[in-house]
Amino acid sequence: GWCCICSCTPTEKMEQTTYLRWIGDIPFDHKLDDPDFKVCDEEKAVQYFWFNEKTYRGEKGAIEDFFAQNYRPQKAKKESGLLRVRFMVNCEGQSGRFRILGMDENYQPKEFDTSITRQLLRLTKALDQWKALRYKEQPKDYYQYLIFKLEKGIIKEILP
């Protein structure tokens, strides 16, 4: 025989779940984000994989040179892995809404020393040659990211 027990309380409130338009969208967070950073049309912001245009003046070489000149290595044995900084570039070429994600060599979540994360975040925010992107003559906001491959606190590679 079957036995089924159900419990429903009609007065319980259903939790409201907000879903992002796309995985990877970065909604504004008043605790983290500069309120002066404005996007043109959040609903039409494109992800980095939707276009193949070069988005930085001087391209990857300029970014690598900037970090080579400005990053101060934090020699620490345990500070190896990947640190990703994702952000938005608005239709005027300004960057904002920065988010950091760290992972170790086995792609497991990792928190890097703040001397590294703060420095890489500050330097990424200082990159000021992002290009304004246009699609079908319309200015576009877009998502961008940099991944820093770190070995013992030293940048070995910047992706993509």
pLDDT tens, per residue, the chain with 160 residues: 544 444 444 444 444 444 444 456 777 788 887 888 888 887 788 776 656 667 888 889 999 999 999 999 877 778 999 999 999 999 999 999 999 999 999 999 999 999 999 999 999 999 999 998 887 788 889 989 999 999 999 999 999 8
The pTM of the whole model exceeds 0.85: no
Please name which of 86, 95, 91 lies closest in space to residue 36, comparing C-alpha atoms: 95
- DSSP single-letter state for residue 40: S
Query: DSSP character for 36?
Result: T
* DSSP SS3 for 120: helix
Retrieve residue 158's tokens: 């910047």
For 50, list phi and psi in degrees, rounded to 5.
Answer: -90, -5
How many C-beta atoms surround the C-beta of residue 66 within 10 A? Answer: 19
Tell me how many degrees the CA angle 28-132-141 measures, rounded to the nearest 5: 30
